[in-house]
Homo-oligomer: A and B are copies of this chain.
């Protein structure tokens, strides 16, 4: 894949199926990779936040990329999450993924320690100057040190290998400010959003695409939203965007991230295994209930059969949506409590 081609479209931040001993389930991961490509996603993005990169060892992270690049066989570009313990280890990972044939890497800003813009700049500058492979900056202020607009602008100007930013803040004026600051000097720089709930409006104000967790569950829908928006069919797009918000909210706010997405992928037919973050008994019960809700949501769009007990008829829906609303608000409160929230 030519390095000069701009990153565009929907990249799936894919999850990793585990076997019953908790190890990477290679067979299922290959099957899942094929399934995503066949359903039309423009690219794959392993070792992202949805992919729980942090819960794998450095060796496992490499193995995930090996499997997926091999299985993809160049059909779509692979954007490999490459953040490791420090810049030296991260640059080594960049070299390794370059050798494997990944299209680019994505590197999240430093986390745990909350770094100043100067440190975030110095971190990416050292990587950008020493990487053999194109780099996508990954801004997710919910989880990591924020990458602010002047830092993005400066890195774009100084590092030709920095070719894109994935921004998961969902903040539209922030995206406008970044595009205004970067595009005049780097017209081929790519802007991707990680916030599914605002995908359509973000595409309309200038984004090139998204790395959207919903595309790991309903690739058909995320792709359709992208296509309708790009084609200017805004009425149809808006309807899909509204539906996607319901699904996204249900998956992201009804369980510890990314358990809701893992549960939905199970419903789509993949054996995801038990996640690496232990769940309390209460959480396991909640997850069971969520599976039912998700199956009904997916059944409504023909992506699954109804669960055995059936689904609420449309008239009951209002209650459900109120419940989801309440959950969303509570979880937003929880996120804020932990010093977060966009």
Q: Which of B88, B206, B282 contacts A118 (CB 8 A)?
A: B282
Task: Determine if A197 and B173 form an interchain contact, defined as CB atoms under 8 angstroms apart.
Answer: yes
Copies in the complex: 4
CB of A250, distance to nearest CB on chain B (Å): 12
Question: Which of A58, A123, A204, A246 has the largest count of B CB atoms less than 10 A from its CB?
Answer: A204
Asked whether any CB of chain B lies closer than 8 Å to the CB of A145, the reply is yes
Asked whether any CB of chain B lies closer than 8 Å to the CB of A338, the reply is yes
Task: Determine if A277 and B54 form an interchain contact, defined as CB atoms under 8 angstroms apart.
Answer: no
> Complex: how many Å from CA A202 to CA B172?
10
Q: Which of B205, B321, B333 contacts A200 (CB 8 A)?
A: B205
Asked whether any CB of chain B lies closer than 8 Å to the CB of A1, the reply is no
CB of A195, distance to nearest CB on chain B (Å): 8
Mark out the residues of chain A between 68 and 127 whose CB falls within 8 Å of any chain B CB in the assembled complex: 85-89, 110-119, 121-123, 125-126
> Complex: how many Å from CA A334 to CA B326?
14
Asked whether any CB of chain B lies closer than 8 Å to the CB of A5, the reply is no
Task: Determine if A114 and B340 form an interchain contact, defined as CB atoms under 8 angstroms apart.
Answer: yes
Asked whether any CB of chain B lies closer than 8 Å to the CB of A148, the reply is yes
Question: Which of A173, A184, A249, A276 has the largest count of B CB atoms less than 10 A from its CB?
Answer: A173
> Complex: how many Å from CA A110 to CA B276?
12
Residue interface mask A192-220, B partner, CB < 8 A = 1: 00010110111011100000000000000
A-B contact list, 17 entries, CB within 8 Å: A87-B276, A87-B278, A110-B277, A113-B143, A115-B256, A118-B283, A119-B277, A126-B278, A141-B339, A146-B337, A149-B328, A176-B245, A177-B249, A180-B242, A200-B205, A333-B336, A342-B342
Residues on A facing B (Cβ under 8 Å)? 22, 49, 54-58, 85-89, 110-119, 121-123, 125-126, 141-146, 148-150, 153, 170-173, 176-177, 180-181, 184, 195, 197-198, 200-202, 204-206, 232, 234, 238, 241-242, 245-246, 249, 256-257, 276-280, 282-283, 318, 321-322, 325-326, 328-329, 332-342
